[in-house]
Amino acid sequence: MAYLLGVVLFALAILVSVSLHEAGHMATAKAFGMKVTRYFVGFGPTLWSFKRGETEYGIKGIPLGGFCKIVGMTPQDDDVDPADEPRAMWRYPVWKRTIVMGAGSATHFALAVVALWLAAVFMGLPNPDFPTTEEQARQEPAVIALGECVVPENTVRECTPADPASPAAQAQLRSGDRITSLNGAPIDNYGQLLVALRAAAPGSTAEIGYVRDGQPATTRATLATTQRPPLDDAKGPVGPVAALGVGLRPSTPNMVTYGPVDAFGATAEYTGNMAVGTYEAMKRIPEKVPALWDAITGGERDMDTPISVVGASRLGGEAVANDAWELFVMLFISLNFFVGVFNLLPLLPLDGGHIAIAWFERVRSWLYARFGRADPGRVDYLKLMPVTYAVILVGGVFTLLTITADVVNPITLFSR
């Protein structure tokens, strides 16, 4: 039930974000005097609507987005009433059209930044010193997080009654204990603990030195058996290895909270990191398409592959089910920032495509005037339709690919 609630809440958060995106277009268009005839949440058949002034507001039956209708977005729009011609969007200065078209992305950025500041003050932001890679984790002190069992196969899931109990738990070890030796070999970090376990025989009895509350002690544990690839090759052949039934408990907190003033600096820093991360993620999208196809056809799902709104909602459900509201909020922030950036790409039918054309027209008119030539006028959007359809087709196929992968082989952040 908690999982389903999380899925619904995250899907609702996405719908609200998209609705506010369209509201940003509408508010700025109205502020400049452009005519907005319709503002709807959703698509398909109209469930409910009302008219106030010259705009109809309402809700449609398919809650997958929203839209607002601004009169005369392009010179080729053929549904403009002659009386509305002076208020057609394409007649307004380029800077006003840029603000209107960019208001959607600005809304997503505003949602992300405000949510970031609130998170920094009340919930905390991810600690930049927290180990995020395998190499960083192996340099951490061998402070353990106790597992309930040892999963025999090379996978991540919840324990079942058939799984062997954690040898560490049976040896009376506790979460927070720091392992200092294994079978006489000194342990200085988590990486050395992994190496020492690989050197031990599955099913053998290991002598473990540890420190608890500053006091050294020893215990003995019969090591379980699991399947793992070599430490230096995560994609290498899987074989039986000894397991203690513990994980790493990092020495640094995962989240850091800030005061109201310090939160501004933390928000700015995290926003900058998101900008870099989003740029890098968008560069990798083409090379991740084969990995998505592999995931659909039975291969292992790469954690670094793109996800759809379906996948994001599923992760939101996992977060709620595991009481990880920090993850829920950070997913919401990251998604809004990504959508804001993606929507500014200079491609039709994205808002960034309309902005790029508006400035192309402005620069071209300026250049023609400098050379004493007649203004060539507006860009003919009809001639750009083949390119627009190509973008829609590619985007549609990619969306279908990610949704399918998120249904048949979803990314999961918690063991099951």
Residue 190 forms part of a structural domain? yes
Q: Which residue has the higher pLDDT, 7 or 413?
A: 7
Residue 394 forms part of a structural domain? no
Residue 231 forms part of a structural domain? yes
Phi, psi for 206 (deg, rounded to 5): -110, 140
Residue 32 forms part of a structural domain? no
pLDDT of residue 132: 66
Q: Average per-residue pLDDT in the chain?
A: 89
Residue 365 forms part of a structural domain? no
Find the domain containing 183 and state its range: 134-248
The two beta strands, 224-228 and 215-222, are unpaired
Average pLDDT of span 314-332: 87
Tell me if 320 sits within 8 A of 5, measured CB to CB: yes
- pLDDT tens readout for residues 267-292: 999 999 999 988 888 888 888 888 88
CATH number at residue 178: 2.30.42.10
Residue 232 forms part of a structural domain? yes
d(CA 51, CA 58): 9
d(CA 377, CA 216): 82
Please give the tally of structural domains in the chain: 1
pLDDT of residue 411: 83
Residue 228 forms part of a structural domain? yes
> pTM here?
0.79
How big is the CA angle at 148 (ends 147 and 150), to the nearest 5 degrees? Answer: 80
- pLDDT tens readout for residues 98-146: 999 999 999 999 999 999 999 999 998 888 777 767 777 788 888 988 8
pLDDT range class, residue 416, cuts 50, 70, 90: very low
Residues catalogued as catalytic:
22
3-state secondary structure 13-73: HHHHHHHHHHHHHHHHHHHCCCCEEEEEEEEEEEEEEEEECCEEEEEEEEEEEEEEEECCC
Residue 328 forms part of a structural domain? no
